Amino acid sequence: MHHKNIKKVLITDPIDPTFVQCLRNAGCDVDEKKLTKDQLISQIADYDALVVRSGTQVTVDVIAAGKNLKLIGRAGTGVDNIDVPAATKHGVWVMNTPGANTISAAEMTCALILALARQIPQACQTLKDGRWDRKLFMGNELMGKTLAILGLGRIGREVATRMRSFGMTIVGFDPFMPAETAAQYGIQFMAPEQIWPVADYITVHVPLLPETENLVCSEVLVKCKRGVKIINAARGGIVNEKDLLKELESGQVGGAALDVFAEEPPGPEVQKLLKHSKVVCTPHLGASTTEAQERVAGDLAEQIQQWITTGNAPGFVNKI
């Protein structure tokens, strides 16, 4: 099989125009289309490569219909919207651009922590609604508070560096990182059971996997300090949405900032959570910066070009 023979490329999510330009320069025929699942299934057979962000669900039926498909490119990090085992089974390579949007994701997380501490979005809304309400919005300083980071990969570590400058104590856990390495990043390594009672803020920075789904659920939240604040700018499903609402309603959770949702866009059953007065929410904007989008597009184009010309490239998440 000629894996490197990429002629026709289909892009189904918004990607920086430099990507299209680079691939056209490399001799590829590139189509950008917004398609329903059925349209994607009926058109995918024409293409050698499919390029997506998180918006397109690359399910097994899409992959099976891709008779000429050799490569799925993810302009970003998370590949949870791609059925990677099915791709591997069908001989389709999957490539992402890890690290290209790390800083944007970390900065977004820091912004959400600050937004929670001072209820900035809620206060802004009252002023826009014509009110001048100061008493409602008594906040808290971050200095001296404990931030728990679950997942100490690239993003978690950048969050640690930034939030330490606010005087926060940083604790964290990662099953793949030894305690000594965490200490080098100024993070006190703790087992999850030790983390729950000491954390004022908990932010998750793990991929969505069977092992991380519902990582933050009622069972965990009830072990936390009353009023704990939860941030999820990683993936929907890591924090259980139903449990979070329940604990917000009881006051056990004092606030939550959510950039990602189990289903995107979130369905009607999530509206109560989104509308809760202690919830700050954004529509999966962690990587939505000019810089990150230029970087993911540039990296992916370069990796694909390198693969076409040399048969080798970084960024593959599977092995055929």
Among 202, 287, 304, 313, binds ligand 3PG (CB under 6 A): 287
How many angstroms separate the Cα of 224 from the Cα of each of 139, 147, 176, 182, 228? Answer: 20, 12, 24, 22, 7
Q: Looking at 73, 76, 151, 172, which residue binds ligand 3PG (CB under 6 A)?
A: 76
Minimal distance, residue 97 CB to ligand 3PG, in Å: 8
CA atoms within 13 A on the CB side of 206: 25
Q: Which residues are catalytic?
A: 235, 264, 284
Look at residue 21 and give its three-state secondary structure: helix
Question: Which of 56-64, 74-82, 150-158, 184-192 is the region at the interface with ligand 3PG (rule: CB under 6 A)?
Answer: 74-82
SS (H, E, C) 189-209: ECCHHHHCCCCCEEEECCCCC
* Complex with ligand 3PG: residue 74 or 145, whichever CB lies closer: 74
Question: Judged by CB under 6 A, does residue 295 bind ligand 3PG?
Answer: no
Q: Which of residues 87-146 bind ligand 3PG (CB under 6 A)?
A: 101
For residues 50 and 67, what is the distance between their CA atoms, to the nearest angstrom? 12
Query: CA-to-CA distance for 3 and 267, rounded, in angstroms?
Result: 39
**In angstroms, rounded to a whole number, what is the distance separating the alpha carbons of residues 155 and 109?**
9
Q: With binding defined as CB under 6 A, does residue 156 bind ligand 3PG? A: no
**Within its chain, how far is the Cα of 161 from the centroid?**
19
The interface region with ligand 3PG, picked from 174-182, 194-202, 238-246, 279-287 by CB under 6 A, is 279-287
- Using the contact rule CB under 6 A, the part of the chain among 111-119, 137-145, 285-293, 306-314 near ligand 3PG is 285-293
212 binding ligand 3PG? (CB under 6 A): no
| Residues in touch with ligand 3PG (CB under 6 A) | 53-55, 76-78, 101, 284, 286-288
